[in-house]
Structure 1
Amino acid sequence: MSSSTASTTDSLRSTSSDSSPAGSADAHRFGDPVVLVLTIGFILLFVGWSLMDADSLAAVIDVGFAWTAKYMGTFFQLLLLLTFFIAMGVAVSRAGAARLGGMEKPEFSTFRWLSMILCTLLAGGGVFFAAGEPVYHFVVTPPAFDTEAGTAQAVAPAMAQAFMHWGFLAWSVLGSLTAMVLAHAHYVQGKPLQPRTLLYPVFGERIMSSWLGGVVDAMCVIAVVAGTVGPIGFLATQMSFGLHELFGVADEFSTQLVILGLLAAVYVASAVSGIHRGIQLLSRFNVILALVIGAVIFAFGPTLFLVNTYMASMGEYLTSFFAMATMTSETAPEWWMKWWTVFFFAWFIGYTPLMSIFVARISRGRTIRQTILAVSILAPIATTIWFTLLGGSGVYYQLTGVFDLTEALNAFRFDQATLTVAKNLPGGVMMAAAVLLLTTIFVATTGDSMSYAIATVGAGHDEPHYAIRAFWGGAMAVMAAILLYMGAGQIGVLQQFIVLTAIPVSLIILPSLWTGPQAAFAMARAQKLI
């Protein structure tokens, strides 16, 4: 490395900050008061309203859900499309060689780094939907295709539609351009790792020090709380159902409560121990377990069918990419767009600010190119392979008449679909138990990373107090327990609320379409790469 580059690196290291500007880290050690009041207020309001009049809450959210899907869906789709292609442009440009955080070498090994990335979003829903969604699209033909449902010709389109929902667009919005904005502002300009920092290039110091910045942070935290409590609650119902079917354990609230308690204990302990210990250790274990399960399915399952399906489905995904990505309620059934494409895209948008904080934090020492390609290309490819192994096996068993999940999936019983597919995989009950364990740990890795990220938002620096990490992990578990006590339907209502939170969050991340490239090129210029 040249002396000029070395001096630049040293300069970046000295100017980068792991804490917020002077004094604020101590002042907000336990969280920004505005963020705490608004987010805790949201939890109390949602739970209280649910307890007093669940039907009216569901009706209000349903109206907002339908309006958002109809009038904002196209905007969400365009936002994801633009983010992906602009990020790809930055990755292949000369700015892609710049390193994040002023570190000459990565802070984490490649395997640990990729494990932590994969165990955030994929944990949030990918495992839950991996078995059932491809089978659903196989028995109910997606609007972008005209194949006859349930036939061999419907296999590739079904898998391609699942790839669209969990592929390049979904991952790219979570940690590419927004992560570049945060990395530059935090490590070079010394700004805190908070969602409001995404707006710093536009509004300057006004957004950092005003109450409006606290509102921005709170809206992003609320989106993540809603997006994380859902998988936590659904995991409890799925595990309870699975334990009942496999081992005869009573499928009731007390079982779900025990599962929630154990799950919370795992992810809170992981979040409290920090990124270098619990979070990365749990992520590594989870990825290794997924690799073992995937290898068993591939070796002893319908191997040739899975290989051919992946090749054909990936080809269909790429050739029909724009047809699927640009469907609207004018060209597809409104109910389908509302419950599938728009719902998923809104969910990922809601996660974006805090996921970007997490990506920026764990990617120090990585180049911009490595970070963008890992999040936008490698992670989606890993996701599509997992969907093919689990969901493709489900499609194979559905096609060959081993079982019929049509009725269960039309009722959106994805817990039943996952267990049914798992029990028919090589290993039978043992494999089903392994898949349930994998799902549990994947949700735990979402819980620990998001508990850490939420605490980071409040503190504004990389090492939020362990008590606030534990508080947020526990708060999400308690919220899930209360809603499950009222019935799994209230968890579903909270899931619908995710779509509403995507409206303000989408406006917060919108400037990253141009501030992301600006940040990347600024880091490259500072490191004398251009």
Structure 2
Amino acid sequence: MDDKTADNKTFGWSTIEWPVFLVSGGGLLLFVILSLVDADFVSGQVNKYFGLSCKYFGAYWQWLLLLNFFIAMALAVSKYGSVRLGGTDVPEMSTFRWVAIIMCTLLAGGGVFWSAAEPMYYFTSPPPAFGAIEAGTTAAVIPAMEQAFLHWGFLAWSILGTLGAVVLMYVHYHKGHPLQARALLYPVFGEKIMTSTLGQLAEGCSILAVAAGTIGPIGFLGLQVSYALNQLFSIPDAYVTQLAIIIALVILYTISAITGIHKGIQLLSRINVLLTVALVALILVIGPGGFIIDTFTQAMGSYVKDFTFLSLFRGDTGWLSWWTVFFWGWFLGYGPLMAVLVARISRGRTIREIMIAVGVIAPLATHFWFTILGGTGIFFELGNAGVISGPLKEAGLPAALLAVVGQLPLSSLLTPVFLALIFIFLATTGDSMSLSMAICVTGQDDPPRSMRVFWAVSMGVAAAILIKMGSGGIGALQSFIVITAVPVGFIMLPTLWGGPKMAKALYDEQEQRMAAAADTVGTMN
């Protein structure tokens, strides 16, 4: 390694695509500065464009996610599912580590935070798609879980790393271009997208969207853990406590991002999965295990039956804007860089393996996790109305998890463990997204450490500033997430036909190689 290469590897500034960096980092910085200067103005503008985004793109996103899932599953069960990606027949990591990284990145990005609260919201205020249902009754249980399954299920997961990952792996490993989000537009523009201004703009928009989507959960973590520490140990639920929590989180996921996929990132992911499995087993034993199993089973059956109807429901656009469309915008924002991450860790995997792991296994595990926490909360709410919904209404999302765990035996032991789980879970999102952003800015599979540190710290600083502003800062960011998803929705569109087209091309190449090898063997014999 020469001196220049070593310098780039250490400091990284010579490897940056500055237009991409300015669009993404500059856009994020501008949002934070404007929020500090005039929060009311920013909030007003964000809410205005949030409304426009939901109005004009909500239905498009619903169709995009649904078609993405159906095409991905069709590809998985077709003959093209056997195609092995990445130019190697040996996966670079074990199946458990591979699935653990995939699972933890999105579930940590909000699933852990929402899993106790979201089903309770729907239980106490049934979604409009289910018609007239009396809130807070047994009739509201399955619809509540169904709606949560929709938002964190097959559609959400599939947009993150199925067809998009196939396109990126084809362009990167088989065509030799950098592993960057702009390659999602390759099916339309070909090789020129990798060096064009449009490609750089698409890259910057993709990074900005995932940064916004990750900053929110970082801020939520500070609020949730601070609230819990106050309830448990009377530590002041104040900004200094929230800031200390965010700093600790940033230090952890920055170190993890620096050490890379095969060390820190996969280690934290493995810890998360093992700890989650242990907690799930424990709750099934000491909690309402029968109710959880029955609710999961019935809700899954109803979810599958109502799948297409719920996915395309447009009966109450106001409600959809604040729930379904918001979540679709959030997941779309994660889409390009999650696809980059999946492509980075999936070399040697078949198309079928990727589709099933991301589009089926991960959603089912997420559904069960939501039933463990959300279903447990509903069980206690049915027995004593207000025991969960009361704290949720009074203190918001941070109170939901604490209220649910507080009703379980061994709650004094379980609560700190759950908080530790959330902390480590979110660290896996921070480290993997910091790495993905650094990959996209530099075009390197193993980007300079300075770039990983920059993005890791920047997201933490932005979260700290926004929660300092109060609920308006984080609220504005939540709406901003949906706005940043508008261009990303078009970046993801070409994967609908690009994924199958590239799978076919690779399948044909694979068949030709096998035929040539068979001819060679026959000739030798």
**TM-score over 0.5 (shorter chain):** yes
CA drift of 1:404 comes to 3.3
Q: Which amino acid aligns with 1:235?
A: L
Task: Output the amino acid matched with 1:426.
Answer: P
In the alignment, which of 370, 375, 381 is matched to residue 353 of structure 2? Answer: 370
| Aligned length in residues | 504
Q: Is the 8 A contact 2:185 2:494 kept in 1?
A: yes
User: Does 2:90 correspond to 1:105?
Assistant: yes
Instruction: For 2:120, give the aligned amino acid.
Output: V
Instruction: Quote how far apart the aligned CAs of 1:409 are.
Output: 4.2
- The one of 273, 283, 291 aligned to 2:259: 273
Q: CA deviation at 1:514?
A: 0.2
Cα deviation, residue 441, structure 1: 0.9
Helix, strand or coil for the counterpart of 1:101?
coil
1:203-218 correspondence to structure 2 within 5 Å: 203-218=189-204
SS at match of 2:80: helix
Matches of residues 309-348 of structure 1 in structure 2 within 5 Å? 309-328=295-314, 331-332=315-316, 334-348=317-331
Q: Does 1:123 align with 2:86?
A: no
**Residue 371 (structure 2) aligned to one of 374, 388, 392:** 388
Which stretches in structure 1 are left out of the alignment for 5+ residues? Answer: 1-23
Structure 1 counterpart of 2:221: 235
C-alpha contact (below 8 Å) 2:391/2:403 kept by paired residues: no
More deviation in 404-413 or 390-399? 404-413
Match for residue 442 of structure 1? 425
2-structure distance, mates of 1:298, 1:175 = 31
- Tell whether the 8 Å contact from 1:130 to 1:391 is kept in structure 2 after alignment: yes
Structure 1 stretches of at least 4 aligned residues deviating more than 3 Å after TM superposition: 24-30, 402-412
What is the rounded CA distance, in whole Å, between the counterparts of 2:50 and 2:391 in structure 1? 24
Equivalent in the alignment of 1:162: 148
1:387-406 to structure 2, matched below 5 A, reads 387-401=370-384, 403-406=386-389
SS of corresponding position for 1:172? helix
Distance 1:29 1:192 in 2: 16
Matches within 5 A, 1:246-285: 246-285=232-271
Instruction: Mark the CA change 1:424 to 1:27 in structure 2 (over 3 Å): closer, same or farther.
Output: closer
- For residues 205 and 177 of structure 1, what CA distance do their matches in structure 2 show? 19
Q: Secondary structure at the match of 1:144?
A: helix
Cross-structure match for 1:83? 68
CA offset digits 1:111-166 (Å, max 9, x no partner): 10110000111010100000011111111111111321111121111101100000
For residues 64-91 of structure 1, give each alpha carbon's deviation from its aligned partner in whole angstroms, at most 9, with x where no partner exists.
1111112211000000000000001111
Q: TM-score, normalised by structure 2?
A: 0.93
The equivalent of 2:47 in structure 1 is: 62
Shift in Å, 1:411: 6.8
Amino acid corresponding to residue 55 of structure 2 in structure 1: K
Deviations 1:438-461 (A, max 9, x none): 111111100000000000001112
1:507 equivalent to 2:493? Answer: no
In the other structure, the counterpart of 2:479 is: 496
State the shift of 1:402 in Å: 6.5
> How far off is 1:188 after superposition?
0.3
Question: Which residue is 2:501 aligned to?
Answer: 518
Amino acid at match of 1:455: A
1:73 partnered with 2:62: no
Please say if residues 193 and 457 of structure 1, whose CA atoms lie closer than 8 Å, have aligned partners that are also in contact.
yes
Q: Distance in 1 between matches of 2:185 and 2:70?
A: 21
- TM-score between the two structures when normalised by the length of structure 1: 0.93
The yes-or-no answer on 1:190 pairing with 2:176 is yes
Deviation digits for residues 44-65 of structure 1, max 9, x if unmatched? 2111111111001000000111
Alpha-carbon displacement from aligned partner over 1:144-194 (angstroms, at most 9, x marks no partner): 113211111211111011000000000001100010000000000001111
Please, which moves more after superposition, 287-296 or 402-411?
Answer: 402-411
Q: 2:442 aligns with which of 454, 459, 478?
A: 459
Where does the alignment leave 5 or more consecutive residues of structure 2 unmatched?
Answer: 1-7, 516-525
Please report the RMSD computed on the Cα atoms of aligned residues, expressed in angstroms: 1.7
What letter matches 2:478 in structure 1? Q
2:362 paired residue number:
379
Report how far residue 503 of structure 1 moved: 0.8
Partner residue in 2 for 1:141: 126
Give the superposition deviation at 1:526.
1.7
